[in-house]
Structure 1
Amino acid sequence: MFARIRESWNRSRAARRTERKAGGEPRSHNLFEAAAAYVSACAEDDQDRIDEATGWVSPEALSFGVNELACRAVIALARERDESPRDVARSLLGLPAT
C-alpha cells in the first residue's frame, strides 16, 4: 500500500517540476519535449539525461510521446527512402523485409 502512495506522490511531484524561462517565469515541459529528450539521451546512452527526462511527465505521457516520435521518424524515413513505413521499421529493427 505504501509503495502505491509513494509512486503516486513521485508522479505528482514529477508532474509539477518546471524549468525557468529566460525571464525567470516557470515553464512546464510537454510530453513531446520529454520524449525527444528521452529518446536522444537513450541514443547517446546518457543516463543522467534519461533520468531527467523521465521526471518531466508521467510514464504514460512519456510512452505516448515516444510512440508518436517513433511513428513520425518512420514516416519521415520512409518518405526519404521512398519505401513503405513497414519496410523501414523492419529494416531499423534488423528484421527481414516481407
Structure 2
Amino acid sequence: MYLSKVIIARAWSRDLYQLHQGLWHLFPNRPDAARDFLFHVEKRNTPEGCHVLLQSAQMPVSTAVATVIKTKQVEFQLQVGVPLYFRLRANPIKTILDNQ
C-alpha cells in the first residue's frame, strides 16, 4: 500500500469528478483496472492546483495532469475490534432507460 502527496493541475481540479479523472492519470496503462485508490482533498484552489493525499495499491507516477510530491510505502496492521473512522462521499447516478 502507498500513501502519496499529490498536486492535481488547476484545470483538472475544478470539480470532484474531474479531480478523480485526474488522479487516474497517475496510474497509466491500466484502463480496465479496478478502482483501487482512496483520496482526501487537503487544499483546493491553490496557485499550483489541488493538494491531495492518496492511498493506493499501486505506486503512482507523475504526469502532466498530476504531480507526485512524495510517496511512502506503508503496511497497515489492522486488528479485530479496533474502530476505524472515515468520511465517505458518494455521487449517485440516475439511469433513465429509453423504453420506460
- Quick check: TM above 0.5? no
**Which protein shows a greater Rg?**
1
TM-score by length of 2: 0.25
Q: Greater helix percent: which structure?
A: 1
